[in-house]
Structure formats: structure tokens, C-alpha cells
Structure 1
Amino acid sequence: MKKVNRTVRRKYDISRKRKLVKRLEIKVDLIALLEYIDPTFLDYQEWVNVGMALKHEGYTADDWDDWSKRDGGRYSPGECFKKWTTFEGNGVTGATITQMAKENGWEPKRRKEDHELDWNDEITGNDDYVVIDKNWIEGMEIREPTNWNPVRELTTYLETLFEASESVGYVVSTWQNDEGKFLPTKGNWDRTAGELIQALNQSDGDIGAVLGDYNPEAGAWIRFNPLDGKGVKNENVTEYKYALVESDTMDLEKQNAILRELELPIAALVYSGKKSIHAIVKINAANYEEYRKRVDYLYNVCKKNGLNIDNQNRNPSRLSRMPGVERNGKKQFLIDTNIGKSSWEEWHDWIEDVNDDLPDPESLTEFWDNMPELAPPLIEGVLRQGHKMLMAGPSKAGKSFALIELSIAIAEGMRWLGWKCTQGKVLYVNLELDRPSCLHRFKDVYQALGWQPNNLSNIDIWNLRGKSVPMDKLAPKLIRRAAKKNYIAIIIDPIYKVLTGDENSADQMAHFTNQFDKVCTELGSSVIYCHHHSKGSQGNKKSMDRASGSGVFARDPDALIDLVELELTDALMQQEENKVVCDIYKKAIEQHNFDYLDEHVSQDDLLSAVSMEAHAKRAIPEQLPNVQQVVKEAMNKVRIRSAWRVEGTLREYPKFDPVNMWFSYPVHLVDEVGSLKDIEPEGEAPPWKKNFSKKKSAEERKKERNEALETAFEACSIDEKITLTAIAEYMGVSEKTVRNRIKDHGGFWIDDGEIGRK
């Protein structure tokens, strides 16, 4: 026995009284939740995390120590108290214990149907996986065998659960604790089922001669999964065939009835000789992780159907009651074998089919004269509230700025790209920009639009750069935070940061986009997100075929807004520069010498930059240097802006006419005068123009290669490690090509197939 260091213990005792006061304020009793967590089932780090969580929430080292004693094989007296003093500021909270308990069958009590979602709540109905009405289930009698044959009981059990060559663990020896309760020892594990069956058949009915004599007050135990013959821990289990379902708080006949009504794939049903039935359920998991998931699912279904099961029986190496022996005057016997569904797969499919959670068909006649109201518009003529919209476009189209513009338009009740927006609260989920950059962009866009920020309280921003998770994990967290905010729109930018699965796989992308449906349904708000175009020319494609990946992206949303770049001619750009210059000179003359403008400037002069500059020299010579500086800055801004055509595919509204616009950093401006209406999108130029297109310089080609590499790196960053293979697959090139581009780029390192930024 190790002695607890007195200094450590004294420090602990001083802080204990303070912690007890804090503990009175704790809403969830974590000690009760620990009943659902078996320390023998945890690895070292998980065990330490429980201690950290208890300390963070104001519990004591005694609480952690008492719980740790349940792992008799690893428990070391005094170890909890020594580690306790080192737990400071580790960031592990009570949510860790809550999650562990939930994974082991605990469910939070629901006070009201409209309760605020907890971090660990699942987005499912309360009736999921309910197969039977527990209030109407009738008990089913258990009959003790009339011709008691212990050897037959045990051999039938062994033949049902094991192959002849598989090692079996069993216990006949016991010890008594301080309360006088008989507990099993580790027992035996070095004999195969075939060896035991053969010895039992030759024992002349004396199983004690084969297994050793057992204490008739205590009974005997057996492990239901095969072992490797070297021990009895989880790591000694060779195949994860079965799990134990047991309830010792219910009427035996009701237990029997529920187990059968649930059609559980039971290999053996054993009476324990006291107050419970042991159901050995077929799991047939490929590995330990799958075993844990299947047992979680099994226990969840049992609990929802009224079976109060013991959560401590999850271990694959767990002991169960051995049939063929007596326990305090009562027999432990086989009630039945191979009942219910034939396999885990068959039972799982049956449970899922019974609980498909689909609505019943409706007759149109019931609603013909009383149609339900349509959802009100969010963007008039484009999108209804509670529906989904995708914005697709190439890199540098300013998609993020367009979505920020949309956020502001909804918050202020203004127009977006010419469409009127309903005013309301909006959540902008920022996955790409660092927090300061994102906040500055909102202010820059407000100022560039010239709008007053009268309704800033309508805009919430959730900055998740560096913290994003796959969409199926993000959706419940988003719903929890947004449940009572009354958002009419949630904008997620961009989705490649939360993308799960292969974007070219229709079924995987259907699962991904279903997460947006969950958000819409749970919150009643619209979900708006953006995605990038596929590679190559887009002008000759339909709008719904331009988005990268599976066609699910374009066909799933209720509205698809697509941006395609327009090829600007030199003549048009000169015309735009001329307009801007003329307008600046006109406003300057109006401000400083209005009479001159009225007397000397003709209508033709108003359309000529050269003429207007000459008039400015004569009319406002003192202000001319400042005005010329303004002209220079405006011309530079014109030269760097790009032109775009907005097309769409709508489910709820008629198709709209294409909208032409300029992207003049940081905002998009609709082309009200029609300068862009005759400009062709990229890829739609006639063949003779394509054949004589300007050849790109080496510097331009290098820039494109570097940008493609940057895009691929960002897209693959959703994984913990960014690998050479992943980058190559994303770009559609060989790994050798990627290596060469990384070397040429100079901003990345590569080590043993892993890639990172320098």
C-alpha cells in the first residue's frame, strides 16, 4: 500500500471546504453520471480527464478516488490525491463527463418540449427507436427446467456461443467484501470450449470435477466472448461476438417479455438465480471501436423501450451468470437460445425501418380548399424563409463580400444585387478569415455601400477559423447556439471548410447537404452557403452545372445563384474610365464654380474626359491638383475592377433575367446603365477569337499554378494532416507534379508525405 504524502493531503483538505461550497451551485450531479462510466473501460488519459473535469466543476479528490476504486486491477491508493494538485487550467470541464455518460446510456431529463438544446443533445425525436409500448407490455413467465441437468445446461451454452477451438473464461471461486457480498475472482481462461464440453460429457454429471467446486451461496460466472488464453481483460478478447443486456430493477416476467418483443438477436437467455435475466446478444463487431458503437446503439434502444439495463455491463470481457449451477438455493439456467432476429444486421435494419421517422401520405382533397400558407420571402423573387440557397462562383469573384453584402442587406432591410430583402436577424458563420479581418470587412462593406449602420444588432458573427469541424458535427452545435436567437438567415462561408466525404460522390454529398436541412427545420431559418466552380471554362455551361463536384450541390438548394466572369474589352474599359473622369470633373466644377458649368460646358463636353479636364483647368485652377489626384485614384480603381453576370436556377420562383454587375472592391455594384449587357462570359467567345487568344506569360502560368496549390491546400486542411496524396487527388495531378509545384512555390514544406506551410 502506498502512503499518501501528508503535505499533499493537507493542501487538499484546505481547498476541499471551498470546493464543497461551489459544488452546491452545480446544476448536474456529476457523481450520479459517474455511475454510467466504468473506469476499467477507459484508457489512462480518459481516466485523468474525469479527474480534471471533477476538479474544474468543484468536486473533491475523494469523489474521484471513490469512483477510481471500481477499477480494482489498476487502482493505486493515494494516486488520485497526488495528481489532483497538478490539475490547474487544463480546460477539461464537466461536459467531458456528460459526454462519456451519454455514450454509456445516460440521457438528460427533458423538462419541456421547447427546452434549450444542450451541447450534448441529439437532433432526434423523442420516439426514435421505440418499438413497443412499455405501458402495455404483458409479462411472460419464466419456467424452471423440470429435469435439471447441469451438464446439459452448460454444454448447450458453450455449443451455442463458442467454436470448439476458442478459449473460455469462467469463475467458480469467490471472495467476500466488507459487506459480506460474494464477488468473483479472475478465474480461469486457459481451456477451450471443445475441451470443456468433452470433459463435461465425461464427468458423469459432476461439473465441479471439470470446473472446480463452486460456492452454492454465490453461484458461478462465465465470460461470453472468446479469449486468447492469456488473461481476462478487454485486450484478451479475440472476437467481439456478444454483449450482455441485464436489468436487476424490474419484474423478471416483464424483462422476459420486453427482451422478446424487441426481437433482440439473442444467442442465449440465462436466469441469474436472483432478480435478473442475462441476455447474451449477438453483436459480431469487426473491432473494439465498432463493438462500442453497437453496444451504445443496443443499450439506447433497450432503454427507450422500457428496459432499465445495467450500464456497467458494456465490457466485452464482462462476466455473466453461468447456467447449470445453483445460487443460494435457486438454479441458474438457460431460458432459451437463438431467439429474435438471426443477426445484428437484420435486427438493426428492422429497428431503423420501424422508426423511419417519415410522415404519412396526405390526401390532396383535404387541403384543396384550404392550402397552407407559403413561407414568406427572404429575398424577393429568389428565396423564401426557411429554404436553402447556394452561391457558386470561381475564385476572386468576391463571393465572401457578396455574402457579407447580403448579411447587411437583410439586417437593414435593403436591396441585394437589386432584390429586396426582408429585414431580420442574421448569423454569419465565418470559417475562413481571422476574426479582425472579418470584422473589418463588415465595416468596409457598410462604408462602401454608403449605408448607415442603424441595425448592427441584427448581425451576429460566429468566427470559427481554426476551429471548424465537419458539418455533421457543426450542425447540432450551431442549432444549440441559434435556438433562441430568431435568425431568419444563417450564412455559412465557405463550405469547403466543413465538407465531409468526396465532393464527387452523390450519396456522400446528399448526406452532407442534409445537414443544412436539419438546420433549416430546427431553426426555421434560411441557410445560405457558397461553393467554388469546377475547373475550366464556365461560359458555355448552364448555371447549375458549374459548381464543383457532384450535381447534388446544384440540385439540392431551393435557389442557386451563380457568378460567371465577363471578358472585358479595352474599348469598354476606356469607356468606363471616361465616365468616371467626366463625372469627377463635373462635380468639382459644380461645387466650386457652378455658373461656369452652366455657361461654358456643352452636352458633348460632359461626355469627353479631355474636354472636362480642359474646362476644370480654366474654371477651378486652384482646386485642380486635388481633383486630378482624385481622378487618378478613381481610374486605378476602375482598371482593377472585374465584371460578373449573375444567373440562377430557382425552385420556388420563375427564372430571373441575368443580372450584370461590377465587383469594385469591396462591393458588387449592379450595372444599371447596361454597359455589360452585350459582353460575353468567359468561354463564349466565337472560335476565331479563341484561336487567337493571347498566350500567357511564364509569370502568369506560375501565378496560376501557385493559386491552384493554395486552393488545394486550404480544401484539404479539413483533415488533421494534409498529405501529398490528398493534394494530388484534389488537383487531379500526379504526386510528382505536386512535389515540383511545392518546390517552385517556396511557401510549403514536405516531410514523409505530409505537407505544411513554412
Structure 2
Amino acid sequence: MEHNQYDLLEVLDHIEPAELDYQQWVNVGMALEIEGYGVDVWDAWSRRDPGRYHPGECRKKWAGFHGAGSPVTGGTLVQYAREQGWTPPCDPGVALGWDDTISAEGVVVDSNWVEDKDVQEPLRWNPADELIRYLEALFEAGENVGYVVKSWQKDEKWLPADKGAYDRTAGELIEALSACGGDIGKVLGDYNSEAGAWIRFNPLDGKGVRNENVTEYRYALVESDSMEIGKQHALIRELELPVACLVHSGRKSLHAIVRIDAADYGEYRRRVDYLYDICRRNGLEIDQQNRNPSRLSRMPGVIRGSQKQFLVDTNIGKGSWEEWKEWIESVNDDLPDPEGLGDVWEQMPELAPCLIEGVLRQGHKMLIAGPSKAGKSFLLIELCIAIAEGRKWLSWQCAQGRVLYVNLELDRASCLHRFKDVYQAMGLPPEHLGNIDIWNLRGKSRPMDKLAPMLIRRAAKKNYIAVIIDPIYKVITGDENSADQMANFCNQFDKVCTELKVATIYCHHHSKGSQGGKKSMDRASGSGVFARDPDAMLDMIELELSEDVLKAEENKAVCAACKQYLDAHFKWEDDLSEDDLCSAYQMMNYCENLLDKWQWLNLQRIVEEAKKRARGLTAWRIEGTLREFPKFPAVNAWFSYPVHQMDTVGVLGDIQPEAEMPPWKRAMDKRKPKEQKAKERKESIATAYDACTTDGKVTVSDLAEYLGVTEKTIRNRLKEHGGFVIDDSEVRKKT
């Protein structure tokens, strides 16, 4: 069961009793009883809600739990903790032993090697001054302060007798204390010197002392009753806790008032949980009952028995919560140490083997970018099959091994059928289907920062050499136009590569609008991080096919259909010339004379289908931006559903991609009426002038560079336009 994977006492630390209703509170007790814990655990935890805690009530309820018909188990505690924002320290799917160390994150000191640090009483005892320094360190002058001076005794222990005062401001108290002559009883009221006195460290609204009366979630209490006070002192300082005030309790503990600076109660709880967890990991055994923001702490400047409650220090450790948390995380950054190049010059480490020859190494990242309808998903499925079978993908040889395809877009049936269709279209026998695993997540995907650890857990020990994620827009976290957010997003792919030692391959779409004038690595939608982060980027751009090219492909398709039909039905002699075999007219004429009526009708139907497929062909140019290998010549391929096929003839080599032409040139290249061409020339000049004015004055050479023509052409067009003047190569609009 899930709860067996966690320390239930740690889980209980993340449940606030004040957030539960009565039945849920009872359920916690039942769960602890059934899991073998004692009533004292339930009672100690219940004390964290002093407003509803009643001494002895836990023991009365406990007696009735034994033998309950439908016992509540520890899983309920895990559920309550999750509902209150707790995140388990490890994925629930990974079973850990009770003595396993979950993580070393946050460990900055070894408590076994920390020497005790003495705590010195103040040489000059001025009670009022002690309390004034405390108030000045924690409160603004106009903020209400809560404190309790009355006490009562239970089992030889002195406890606060009431809610105390909570409607006086820090400024009022400081003014009164400054004039009391050191007798704080005149200001606060007399207290029992055997019991001491208490004060609340967060400001209140003046209406009560519950959590909802706290106006600023500024501080939290760190206290330990189970360690030597010198050890407490040393660890608090070694941990660099952002302590605003450190108070000696007058007995066996220090009270550290730690800066939390939370925006609301939810953030306060999360930060306090983090604080307590770091303290626990570093050997500072703290009292878990002190989480409430309205908690009472020991007041400096009073006597408790034979000792003083005094202010040990103020403003120690880091200056803020953010600074402290950043320091904690930086100490545990698990980054490698720098190494000297001279140490490895003669014994260089081996490079990772190639996954895709000349394009991508194993353990690296690759992005495929392209517009819609480019067949990117089919291209990735083709890559899966090429890796599984150890075959070529487009023009590149692939290493053979196991691959995981993460399907985020297709329903399960469609995805599986697509794999089978691509296998058959590629003409490959499915000899190594066991090398392909498919993780179907349509409708169940998570943001990449949540998906990455789940993927890593499932892929561990599977010996994959590649993980393919299709497509990434389904798992993007944050704004895709934000460089820092996308850098964090791309880091998740690094985690997959590092943890699994696999290549991670994913696809992304082009940005909307014309791609004219853009470099291949700048066409992907969103931040440039997408293109600059991976080790290899392949960009697909469509080639605009002319009518002549389409007719040529149609002719080839007809010839191939005729030959295939003849081979299937006849032992025909090759009585056609090589030229005839490449002519649709000659092939159809030959077949019409050879076939009977029904055969001829059947062939005509097949030929029409072939023509339709030929007309449906799209052509693509694939360019690469590589980090590990030299740039390769652009690769041209046809996409004939459902596979891409290399242009082995070279018919696509001379076609310029439409998206690489500026808009004005695409218009000029098409045959249009003379009047329309003149109009477009005028518009192109006006558009170019407006674009160039953003940099200041506009010259003839600026316009020529923008439009990609000569300066002579620009001068002619400016003259034709009539709305501009040229003054020593500077172009201005006529006024």
C-alpha cells in the first residue's frame, strides 16, 4: 500500500489539525492506532490546534478504536497530507525500505562533527531593554503584539493561563517600556517568576490570537527540547538560518524566530514545512508542534525559575528567506568540480557512440521542427522503426536498440495502426518489434516537469537508447516565448538524457505567419531556446512544386502502375524501349492493346488512384543545425502518405523553398497583369521604406538590401512610385 512507502510520523508533520473537521481528526487517531502508534503521538499532534484541543479527549476516543469494523489506515494520513499541499519526497511507484535515505538534498552540515557553541547570559541585565530590542527587531510600530503573562501549573509544568493581550501596538509597548525604569510588570502586568512569560512573534489584527488573526506571515519558531543547548546554538548558526531574534527560553532550549516572509497562509505552511525538513535533515531535532503562525514563544526580559529568558542575538544567519533557501540549494547543487585539461589531454574520454550517423550521438537531444502537415509524427515513427531494425532513416544509418515512443496526441488504436502502416509502407519486415515500446498518454499527459520523473521511473532498467516525445506542445510548462521558462522546460529533457543515458528526440511546430527571411533555427515557435538547446536540430520546410514537376511525378506514377499490373498478371516480354517504359502515353497505349475489356477498366481505376496520389505528394527540404558534427547538405524528401522517401533523382534540388523567398519576390515570380505588378512594386517600396525608418534615415542601399535587389532597381522603382525624393543617396518622402 502507498502509505507503507513513507514514514507516517513525517507525513503527520505535514497535516495541520486546525485544517481538519472533527471526523477527519478522529480518522487520524484511528489510522495511527491501526498502524501501531501510541495515543501519545495523536495527543501531541492534536496539541497543534490549541483552540480545539481538550486534555484527555484523545485517550477517551482511543479506547473505542480497537476492533472497529471499518478501520482507517495510514493511507488516509497520506491523503490528508497531499490535500494540504504535501508533495511526497519520492515517486509513489518506487518502494523504499524504512531505513533508506530518500535524498541528501538540503544537507549542509554533519551534526556529528559540529562542536557545541556556548550561550552567554547578558552581563548587564535590563529586562525592559531586552524586550524593546525584541520588539524593534520583529514589529513595525503600528502592529499589534500578542503576549501572555498569566500562567497555571499542570503536572509540574507551567502553561499560559489565557489568550493574554493582543490589542497593543509595538510602538505603544516600546514607549511604555522605555519609561518603566526596568520594571516590565508595570507595562505588561505582573508575571509568575517560576513560570516566565510568553509573546507571539507575528503581528495580529487586534481581534484575537488564532491563525486567522495574523496579519503578516513573517516568522516561524524553531525550537528543540531534546538536544543540548550548545548543540542547538551551533546548528542554528551552521545552518545560517535567517534568524531575526534568538531567545534563551530560561530552561533547556533556544527559540529561534526565523524569517519566513510568506505572502499568505498557504505559502507560510509550505515554507515552514521546508524549514523544518531542512533542520531535521541536518540533525536539528525540533519541536514539530510549533508550526502555527500565532504560536507563543518565550518572552525575553523575564525570569523563569532561577534563570533568565534573554535575547541571545538578533539578525544572524542569512538576511532573508530567499537568500537562505538559495544558499541551501546551492550547497547541494550536485555539480561536478572543475577539472584541468592537462590531466586528461593524453587520455581523452570516449565520445558517445552515434545514434544517427553524422547527426546525433546517444545520450544527446534532437529537435525536429516544421509546419503542420509536414508529417513530423510519421517522420518520428519512421525513426523509431529505423532504430529498432538498425536501418537507415532518410539518408542516415541508425544504431540498433530499444526505443520508447511517448505518444501524447493520438488515441491508442490510431497510434498502433500508424506504426503498422509505416512499417508496411517502408517495406521492412517487422523482425524486431520487441525493440519498440509505446507509452500512450493522450488525455493523461502531465507538464514536462511532472512527466519527466514518471518517465524516468518507467524507463529505468529498460535499456532504451532513445526516447521520442511527440509532440512537446502537449507538455510545455510556462510561456513558450519566455527564454527563462523555456530554459527550465528544456532542462527536463536533460534530466531524461542524464538519468536514463538515452537520446531524447522531440518535435515542435513552426511559428505562425510567413517564414520568409528567417534562418532555419529561428522558425520554431516560441523562444529561441527551443532551437539553441538541443545538440541537433532538423528543420523541415516545404518546397513549392510547379505544375511541370507534378506532371512529371504523375507520369512516373502511371508508368509504375502499368508495369506493376503487367508483372502481376502477365509473363510479358519486354518489347518496349527504355523510353517507352518512361512514357505514360506509351505504357497506357501498350496496355490498352494487350488487355481485355475488364482488365483495361481495372487498370484505368488503378492508374487514376496513382495519379491522385502523385498529385497529393508534398516535397520537403530538411536542414540541420548540429553541435557535434559538421553541417550536412540539405536533404530533400517526398512525403507520400504515410512515409517520407528520399529524392534520389534530384528533381527537388533546384527548387527554392517558398518560405525562404521574401513576400515581394514570391508575388513577382508569379505571372500577373502588368498593372498589378506595378502596384505591387509601389507597395513593396513603401513597405520597405517604413521598415527601414525604424533605424533612422533611409538610404538607397538600405532599401536594396531589404528587398534583395540592386541599387539601380531601387532608383527606378522610387522614380516609378513618385512619392519619394533621393538626396545624395538618402531617401525621403515628398512633403
TM bucket, shorter chain: 0.7 to 0.9
CA RMSD of aligned residues (A): 4.1
Q: Partner of 1:269 in structure 2?
A: 246
Q: Tell me the secondary structure at the aligned position of residue 416 of structure 2.
A: helix
1:611 maps to a residue whose letter is: Q
- Could you say if the C-alpha distance between residues 49 and 467 of structure 1 is closer, same or farther in structure 2, counting changes exceeding 3 Å? farther
How far apart are residue 642 of structure 1 and its match? 0.9
- In the alignment, the residues of structure 1 paired with residue 297 and residue 502 of structure 2 have an alpha-carbon distance, to the nearest angstrom, of 51
- The aligned runs of 1:180-191 (5 Å cut-off) are 182=159, 185-191=162-168
Q: 1:36-115 to 2 correspondence within 5 Å?
A: 36-40=13-17, 42=19, 70-73=48-51, 96=79, 103=86
Paired residues of 1:398 and 1:663 also in contact (CA < 8 A):
yes
What letter is aligned with 1:605?
Answer: D
User: Residue 470 and residue 418 in structure 1: after superposition, are their counterparts in 2 closer, same or farther (change >3 A)?
Assistant: same
- Aligned-residue offset at 1:379: 1.0
Of 651, 671, 675 in structure 1, the residue corresponding to residue 627 of structure 2 is 651
Greater Rg over alpha carbons, structure: 2
Distance change (3 Å), C-alpha of 1:29 and 1:369: closer
Deviation string 1:580-603 (CA, Å, 9 cap, x unpaired) is 221121122223222x333x3332
- 1:113-171 deviation line (CA, Å, top 9, x unaligned): xx98579xxxx995544443433211111223455443333233222222222111122
**Aligned residue in 1 for 2:434:** 457
Distance 1:474 1:26, change over 3 A: closer
Given the alignment of the two structures, is residue 152 of structure 1 paired with residue 129 of structure 2, yes or no?
Answer: yes
Q: Which of 682, 687, 690 is the aligned partner of 2:658?
A: 682
Q: Does 1:587 align with 2:587?
A: no
Counterpart in the other structure of 2:531: 554
* 2:615 is the counterpart of 1:639: yes
Taking the TM superposition and a 5 Å limit, the aligned residue runs for 1:45-444 are 70-73=48-51, 96=79, 103=86, 128-174=105-151, 182=159, 185-203=162-180, 205-352=182-329, 354-444=331-421
Structure 2 residue corresponding to 1:496, chosen from 473, 478, 495: 473
**Quick one: structure 1 residues 145 and 61, their matched pair in 2 at CA, closer, same or farther if it must change by over 3 Å?**
closer
Contact between 2:242 and 2:258, CA under 8 Å: does it hold in 1?
yes
Counterpart Cα distance in 2 of 1:597 and 1:263:
92
Contact 2:151 2:158 in 1 (8 A): no
Structure 1 position 630 matched with structure 2 position 589: no
Change (3 A) 1:256 1:203: same
Tell me which residue corresponds to 1:746. none
Gaps of 5+ in 2: 673-735
Instruction: Quote the offset at 1:176 in angstroms.
Output: 6.2
Cα deviation for residue 433 of structure 1 reads: 2.3
The amino acid of 1:580's aligned partner reads: A
- The equivalent residue for 2:725 is none
**Contact 2:363–2:498 (CA under 8 A) maintained in structure 1:** yes
Report the alpha carbon displacement of residue 452 of structure 1 after superposing the two structures with TM. 2.9
TM-score, length-normalised on structure 2?
Answer: 0.79
C-alpha contact (below 8 Å) 1:394/1:564 kept by paired residues: yes
2:591/2:600 contact within 8 Å kept: yes
Aligned AA (1:653)? F
Q: Displacement, 1:637?
A: 1.9
**1:321-343 CA distance string (max 9 Å, x none):** 22233445443222222223344
1:481 to 458, 461, 468: 458
User: Who is 1:665 aligned against?
Assistant: 641
Change (3 A) 1:74 1:464: farther
Moved more, 262-271 or 534-543: 534-543
Asked whether the 8 Å contact 1:663–1:669 carries over to 2, the reply is yes
Q: How far, CA to CA, are the matches of 1:689 and 1:323 in structure 2?
A: 81
Q: Describe the shift of the 1:564–1:182 C-alpha distance in structure 2 as closer, same or farther (beyond 3 A).
A: same
Aligned partners of 1:507, 1:29: CA distance in 2, in Å? 34
Partner SS state of residue 508, structure 1: helix
One-letter identity of the residue aligned with 2:167: D
- SS, match of residue 385 in structure 2: helix
1:55, CA displacement in angstroms?
7.8
Q: Could you give the per-residue CA deviations for residues 392-428 of structure 1, whole angstroms, max 9, x where no partner exists?
A: 0011111111112212222222221121222222222
Q: 1:167–1:226: 8 Å Cα contact kept in structure 2?
A: yes
**How many angstroms apart in 2 are the aligned matches of 1:623 and 1:305?**
86
The alignment status of 1:614 with 2:592, answered yes or no, reads no
The letter of the residue matching 2:631 is K
| C-alpha separation in 1, matches of 2:622 and 2:34 | 57
Instruction: State the 1:543 CA deviation.
Output: 1.8
Mapped contact 1:37–1:100 kept (Cα < 8 A): no
Q: CA deviation at 1:652?
A: 0.8
- Corresponding residue number in structure 2 for 1:16: none
Percentage identity across paired residues of the two chains = 61
- Decide which moves more: 628-637 or 548-557: 628-637
Contact 1:168 1:192 in 2 (8 A): yes
Return closer, same or farther for 1:475/1:313 CA change in 2, 3 Å cut-off. farther
CA distance in 2, matches of 1:421, 1:372: 23
The separation in 2 between residues aligned to 1:94 and 1:608, in whole angstroms, is: 78
Q: In the aligned structure 2, how far is the partner of 1:152 from the partner of 1:240? A: 26
SS where residue 683 of structure 1 aligns? helix
Q: Which moved more, 1:491-500 or 1:329-338?
A: 329-338
What is the TM-score when the length of structure 1 is the normalising length?
0.77
Distance of aligned partners of 1:125 and 1:526 in 2 relative to their CA distance in 1, 3 Å threshold: farther
